Amino acid sequence: MVNTKVTLSGLTLDNPVIPASGTFGFGYEFADIYDINILGSISCKGTTKEPRFGNPTPRIAECTNGLINSVGLQNPGINKIISEELPKLSQYYKKPVIANISGFSVEEYAYSCEKIDKCEQVGIIEVNISCPNVHNGGMSFGTSAKSAFEVTKAVKAVTTKPVYMKLSPNVTDIKEIAKACEEAGADGISLINTLLGMRIDLKTRKPVIANKMGGFSGPAIFPVALRMVYQVYDTVNIPIIGMGGVSSARDVIEMMLAGATAVQVGAANLVDPFACKKIIEELPVVMQHLEIENLQDLIGGSH
């Protein structure tokens, strides 16, 4: 009998498969089609201090082996997430969840993280530092080691739960950013967020997406994600949640060999709402085929 359990910052997950933020709503939307309690955890939709309508449409563009999205963090704001969305999810999902927090200033990050830290059903806080820093000309917090350090330190000062910093791949040296987060007290790293991409409509000769550019995700970015997880595993001594193009049980195992303790599934959910369920069901079969008894033993096994 194979063992799919993994331990993530003190939390024992039945398996390492987690739907990625922004691709699974708040989770309860999927409860009508299968028992979502089979999931290792759920990374809930990205949350900001104030409600956000998001970016203008069109927001989605298809690509070969992937897609580009520019949703713009549409969400009802931290107060409604706490008062309405998380309680609704708790009716269907009985395990700790991952709260994904975004912000446009260090103060906003700290405010939202301090509030979500008090929610009993939240097991881990995932801080998305791919947002534009409004006090620094719109440059993403995640593209500067100094900014990443500042956000991490501010969030850690007001929280008690494990904090995982979600990193942008749109940088020269992912190792430098990850190390800065660790030095500021991060409990873990999530990576990668989407790459920056675009498509142009040949008839109109204009960008397909209203915002011109957006986040490129899907199977096409898996090798890039794998490489970055591998590099960060060699750089930090804290756990990693790996993501980026994961769409099969074999991808999960490959990501864990690179250094991930758990794995998030993103774009695959938008193509097939049963993607996570299928991966979880495939996992024991693939483990037996590869003669793997304990998934936990695989972490970093390729180093």
pLDDT in tens, 145-162: 999 999 999 999 999 999
**β-bridge mates for residue 265, sequence order:** 19
From residue 102, how far is each of 165, 172, 245, 263 by CA, in Å? 11, 22, 22, 20
From residue 74, how far is each of 37, 46, 102, 269 by CA, in Å? 25, 8, 11, 18
DSSP 164: E
ω into residue 192 within 30 of 0, thus cis? yes
Per-residue pLDDT for 135 more than 80?
no
Candidate list 44, 113, 119, 131, residue with the active-site label: 131
Residue 131 annotated to the active site: yes
Give pLDDT, residue 31.
97
Residue 231 placed within a domain: yes
Residue 171 placed within a domain: yes
Per-residue pLDDT for 88 more than 90?
yes
Residue 303 placed within a domain: no
- Annotate 136-165 with b (16+ C-beta within 10 A) or e (fewer): eeeebbbbbbebbbbbbbbbbeebebbbbb
Length of the chain as a residue count: 303
Residue 155 placed within a domain: yes
Mean pLDDT of 284-302: 97
Residue 36 placed within a domain: yes
CB 249 within 8 A of CB 283: yes
Indicate the number of domains in the chain. Answer: 1
Residue 1 placed within a domain: no
Structure tokens, 215: 């986040």
For residue 130, what pLDDT band results from cuts at 50, 70 and 90? confident
Mean pLDDT of 231-248: 98
Q: Which of 137-141, 204-208, 271-275, 288-292 has the lowest mean pLDDT?
A: 137-141
Mean pLDDT of 235-239: 98
Give pLDDT, residue 120.
96
Domain housing 15: 6-298
Please report, for the domain that includes residue 186, its CATH number.
3.20.20.70
For residue 140, what pLDDT band results from cuts at 50, 70 and 90? confident
Average pLDDT, the chain: 95
Per-residue pLDDT for 137 more than 60?
no
pTM of the model: 0.96
CB 36 within 8 A of CB 295: no
For residue 253, what pLDDT band results from cuts at 50, 70 and 90? very high
Give pLDDT, residue 109.
97
Contacts of 166 (CB under 8 A, 6+ apart): 21, 100, 126, 127, 128, 129, 130, 142, 189, 190, 191, 193
